Amino acid sequence: MKPLSEIPFSVLDLAPIRQGGTAAESFGNTLDLARHAERLGYQRYWVAEHHSLPGIASAATAVVIAHVAGGTSRIRVGSGGIMLPNHAPLVIAEQFGTLESLYPGRIDLGLGRAPGGDQRTARALRRHLGSSGDTFPQDLAELMAYFRHGGPGNGVHAIPGEGLRVPVWLLGSSDFSARLAAELGLPFAFASHFAPDFLHEALALYRRYFEPSEHQAEPRVMVAANVFAADTDADARRLFTSAQQQFLNLVRGTPGLLPPPVESMDRLWLPHERQHVERMTRCSAVGSPETVRRWLEGFAAETRADELILAGQIYDHAARRRSFAIAMRVRAEAAPAGGETVATGGG
């Protein structure tokens, strides 16, 4: 098991649109945070495809990736993820072939099988031309074939894309993508930052059934967590309330802009709503640098993660920058191999 100081950290950005803000502000903050993450030494910077959600600006994910990659110089940039059922595989191959041609050696293609929105939005996106999650393995095979020399052999070619090495990750929150990633020998990322229920089962299945491939000789697991770090535990808990309110709105079916923090959530949720939100967000490091260090060390030990990808829906951009800086600092200051770790049960 690697010590925390040897585990790469990455950033998952949902490009939050905050109350009182705009999508334009969100994209400016995304680029600023990406440059900040690059200076801090983060491994990669991923943005996620979501649709018809007022508080998330990254629906046109490939466009946002180009924005980030064009404004940075070293950090890997990619999708966490592209929702394959929403798109023809050829379109994704062309988009990411273009990105890889523009920013060679820096682009990742993370793929998911969820719609990234409700069913009405999925129908509006697909117009009966796209696929469903039921055909995900076939669509994935077609997509990956477009990157091979000669393409899939059907007379259709991804230009640019063909012959380029764009790393493909499978993303998931259940055992389906874990098994498929293992079968194909692909790296696997688990979305435990919002859907932690099957985390350990999925990781165990992936490692148990992994087949070495041209892509990966050994299993590679990236695990997602939320991080809300500040000078004190109380300050961090206050920052966390913005995300808690956003999750609460999702639970109620009323998604909205990222709200400012509040002093207490007690008057905002009912007991069953609190239970639901706390279950969804239990993979969250919330606290002072020391609290966050202990939590991350425990989480890394518990999951045996090869990489941690950190999300942080924080209303104030300066506080968000500082939270990611604290996370990287505690990584650098973490105990070396053989040092004590503390197991964690959640945020």
Domain residue ranges of the chain, discontinuous segments joined by + = 7-225+304-320, 226-303+321-347
* 35 within 8 A of 69, measured Cβ to Cβ: no
Say if residue 119's pLDDT is above 50.
Answer: yes
C-alpha distances out from residue 142 to 93, 110, 216, Å: 10, 15, 19
Say if residue 96's pLDDT is above 90.
Answer: yes
Alpha helices for 41-117 (secondary structure H): 61-70, 89-102
- What CATH number matches the domain at 7-225+304-320, 3.40.50.1010, 3.40.50.10680, 3.90.1170.50, 3.20.20.30? 3.20.20.30
pLDDT tens by residue, 33-61: 999 999 999 999 999 999 989 999 999 99
Residue-level pLDDT at 341: 39
At 53, which amino acid appears?
L
Q: What is the mean pLDDT of residues 248-264?
A: 96
pLDDT band, very low/low/confident/very high, at 133 (cuts 50, 70, 90): low
The Cα angle at residue 222 between residues 220 and 225, in degrees rounded to 5: 165
Write the CB contacts of 255 (distance below 8 Å, at least 6 apart in sequence). 53, 54, 55, 246, 249
Please, what is the end-to-end C-alpha distance for the chain in angstroms?
A: 22
pLDDT tens by residue, 151-184: 999 899 999 999 999 999 999 998 999 999 999 9
Beta bridge partners of 56: 16
Between 334 and 70, the more confident residue is: 70
Q: What is the mean pLDDT of residues 13-36?
A: 97
3-state helix, strand, coil in the chain (%, to 5): 45, 15, 40
Helix (H, G, I), strand (E, B), or coil: what is residue 119? helix
Say if residue 129's pLDDT is above 50.
Answer: no
Cα separation, 192 vs 281, whole angstroms = 8
Say if residue 340's pLDDT is above 90.
Answer: no
Cα separation, 77 vs 309, whole angstroms = 13
Say if residue 103's pLDDT is above 80.
Answer: yes
C-alpha distances out from residue 61 to 78, 185, 188, 202, 282, Å: 9, 25, 20, 26, 27
Q: Output the average pLDDT for the chain.
A: 92
Say if residue 134's pLDDT is above 60.
Answer: yes
Beta-sheet pairing, 9-13 with 188-190:
unpaired
